[in-house]
Chain A
């Protein structure tokens, strides 16, 4: 049991461009996947916050129920199955229809998968907002949509920010499962490199270090933003106490 650092250096020097290629795709997939997932989450989280009003016509009520049910189904399926399985299944299922390459399919899969988690994060963010905020919106005549966009969502996103950021960190690691549809991200590259040099320990050691580096940078950056949001909150609290 030993890591030969000379071998490590040799592998790095020889395969640097392969590793960097993998890093590029890993970062790209993690970033786009998280971003698209966030957008999906905003819409679905908003949908799940819809309340059925007394003034709604029967048709509108039915429509609302149906839409809410659909989002539940989506979240149920995508959170309840592994992304690896989703990747293969969706890629081959829609291949005859879209004629897509695996990279496009991969982006769609990671976005949809993240979207399901984001929907739950946004929904709980919305639920954490005092119902009085929505009532105040209603009381001055704002519509549900206006209230959501201008008052509820900004607060919900701020509250849910740590969880949203966490999804990004998770995605940096989870892109690795997309190797099953031959996406040349970091893990896929590692498998190829180790497969040609047979130095499994050293090659995977390098890969682990790269993942750790990426997630550390992401976490640090997210912490920084979070603190910025929080500092404002703390100053506000101090101010309130001084009254």
Chain B
């Protein structure tokens, strides 16, 4: 089966530092990929390159075989590739409902009625429907992240990129957000998750990528990477992680 997204020899440099030194991997439909690695290894940059919040220095990103780096209008592509941020980045001037409605109306050109209906459906899914009329600034971190996920779902994306979705949350809230993501995974949503939650990665992912210093050191099934890694670097990383 053809990949939805193919990352080919992706490179990214910031001024002098080369953060990504040639990353390649494929994302197929319904696949859940977890990217793990130390802070600063390029995990987040990889995600941000995929929806072009960062523009790659070199390489290709194919979306259904088409190189998105050559696209003239990125907006339709970006609508199909959802992104959930570490810091939620909800629109602070809007209510919970309008956070989910705005993109549908402006990008997907839906009527307000259609958009509200979809927004309510997705807010219900993440358990936030009761908060629909509230200002987002009144929500807790876990609630914000659930709304952010609903906002992404409203765009009906083919893939969702999660950039450390629980790193800014305390353990209690982490659980509620991970549950939402897990439910999405069970429904068959295609996703790439950058995470430090190893248990979660093991439970949800079909494939785990371990990155270090801008390269993919090792990739494979979660039980292989997380239990019996071949590479010394992966073992070192996991050992340090368990010690913590």
The answer to whether A and B belong to the same complex is yes
By a beta-carbon cutoff of 8 Å, the part of chain A in contact with chain B is 54-55, 130, 132-133, 135-143, 146, 150-151, 154-155, 158, 232-233, 236, 239-240, 243
Tell whether, in the assembled complex, residue B89 and residue A136 are in contact, meaning their CB atoms are under 8 Å apart. yes
Contacts of B55 in A (CB 8 A): 54-55
Given A133-B89, A133-B91, A133-B92, check contact A140 B74 (CB 8 Å): no
Distance (Å) between the CB of A183 and the closest chain B CB?
39
B85 partner, pick from A132, A142, A233, A240, beta carbons under 8 A = A132
Residues of chain B at the chain A interface (Cβ within 8 Å): 51-53, 55, 71-72, 74-79, 82-83, 85, 87, 89-94, 102-103, 106-107, 135, 137-138, 140, 148, 151-152, 155
Q: Which residues of A contact B90 (CB under 8 A)?
A: 136
B155 touches A155 (CB 8 A): no
Can you offer 6 A-B residue contacts whose CB atoms are under 8 A? A135-B85, A136-B85, A140-B83, A141-B75, A141-B79, A236-B135
Contact A135–B107 (Cβ < 8 Å): no
Q: Is the CB of A141 within 8 A of B71?
A: no
Q: Which residue of B lies closest to A238 (CB)?
A: B138
A139 in contact with B135 given A130-B89, A150-B102, A240-B140 (CB within 8 Å): no
Distance of B97 from chain A, by nearest CB (Å) = 14
Known: A54-B55, A141-B155, A142-B75. A154 touches B93 (CB 8 A): yes
Contact A236 B138 (CB under 8 A): yes
Specify which chain B residues have a CB less than 8 angstroms from the CB of A142 in the assembled complex.
Answer: 75, 102-103, 106-107
Additional 16 contacts, C-beta under 8 A, given A236-B135, A236-B138: A133-B89, A133-B91, A135-B85, A138-B51, A140-B82, A140-B152, A141-B76, A141-B107, A141-B155, A142-B102, A150-B102, A151-B102, A155-B92, A155-B93, A232-B135, A243-B140
Measured CA separation A154–B93 after assembly (Å): 7
Q: Residue of A at shortest CB range from B151?
A: A140
Q: How far is the CA of A155 from the CA of B92 in the complex (A)?
A: 8
- Bound-state CA distance A137–B107 (Å) is 10
A158 touches B78 (CB 8 A): no
CA distance A158 to B53 in the complex (A): 26
Whole-angstrom CA separation of A137 from B93 in the bound complex: 13
How far, in whole Å, are A203 and B76 apart by their CA atoms in the complex? 67
* A240 proximity list for chain B (CB < 8 A): 137-138, 140
Residues of B within 8 A of A130 (CB): 87, 89
